[in-house]
Structure 1
Amino acid sequence: MKTLAKKRIFGFTLIELMIVVALVAILLAIAYPSYIKYVRKSNRGEAQQLLMNWSINQEIWRSNNPLYAGTGDLPAPTADHYDFAPSNLSATTYTLTATAKVGDDQNNDKSRDNLTDCDVLTLNQSGVKGPAACWE
């Protein structure tokens, strides 16, 4: 006589899978905004570094010429998320500006206190950085 033995099937139930999916969704909801903020801050840091290097190059240019350099003499840096432009060029002054590219997520960048927009960064011949909260 044959005995019908129940075979146990190993695997996950639908409920167990749904619990895992819910836990992953909760973790993503917490982690993703922090990740986006980190990416924006990293892109801002790159723009700040490029502005400072450009400023050094302006000072080197000015030590050999009567005026600070325009973009024809000293090309503006290039970056994926920012456009760079000089202004107020004279024998004694300049302002270098990095502006987040139109349509780029970098336009939503905020300072650490979440009060100051960091989509436009400036640096002048005296080393004054603006907005100050974005350079911390």
Structure 2
Amino acid sequence: MIDVPSSPAPGATAMRTPFMAGRLARGFSLIELMIVVAVVAILAAIAYPNYSAHVLKSRRAQAKADLVEYAQLAERYHTINNTYVGFTFPGGAESINSPREGGTAAYTLSMETGQSTFTFTAAAANAQTKDKCGDLTLNQANVKTSQATLSDCW
């Protein structure tokens, strides 16, 4: 067995290293930092698509609510006038944006009216064009259409 001296030879100075026992390490190593970056990247890769899908779904829900609201207003107009001809969006506009409260338009609402029929269309706009449901329609018979299955979109 080799005897290792616990103290330096006479006249020699002890070499201090940053990892000596009893000394607190400060900061992060590169490996630790890379592990944190990898974990954050994995979480972001999972979370962002889910967030984007949720935003698309909530904008679609707002457009559906707007379609149903204007269908109700058109029915009220028809009850009074016995026709859908002449029904307009507020201010006489031919189309309006959804959401109506402002911000970036997710859908553009338009309509076609006849004596006894109407069709409201919510055309996807801007980032909403990435939504699988695409354009949504609703008519006087409460027939709903979309580019994907009705159970997914309505």
Which TM-score bucket, shorter chain as reference?
0.7 to 0.9
CA RMSD of aligned residues (A): 2.3
Residues 129, 135 of structure 1: 8 Å contact kept: no
Residues 50, 77 of structure 1: 8 Å contact kept: no
Q: In structure 1, the residue corresponding to 2:61 is in which secondary structure?
A: helix
Unaligned runs of 5+ in 1: 111-117
Greater relative contact order (Cα 8 A, min sep 6): structure 1 or 2? 1
Unaligned runs of 5+ in 2: 1-13, 99-104
Provide the C-alpha distance between the structure 1 equivalents of 2:44 and 2:31, rounded to a whole number of angstroms. 20
Provide the C-alpha distance between the structure 2 equivalents of 1:17 and 1:122, rounded to a whole number of angstroms. 51
Provide the C-alpha distance between the structure 2 equivalents of 1:67 and 1:23, rounded to a whole number of angstroms. 61
After TM superposition, list the pairs within 5 Å mapping 1:57-96 onto structure 2.
57-68=73-84, 69-71=87-89, 75=93, 76-79=95-98, 80-87=105-112, 89-96=113-120
Deviation track 1:94-135 (CA, whole Å, cap 9, x = no partner) reads: 00000012xx1110101xxxxxxx120000000011122443
Letter in 2 for 1:85: S
Residue 113 of structure 1: aligned partner:
none
Residue 40 of structure 1: aligned partner:
56
Provide the C-alpha distance between the structure 2 equivalents of 1:10 and 1:31, rounded to a whole number of angstroms. 32
Residue 32 of structure 2: aligned partner:
16
Classify 1:72/1:106 alpha carbon distance in 2 versus 1 (closer, same or farther; 3 Å).
closer
Deviation track 1:61-87 (CA, whole Å, cap 9, x = no partner) reads: 111113211448765553221101101
Identity of aligned residues (%): 38
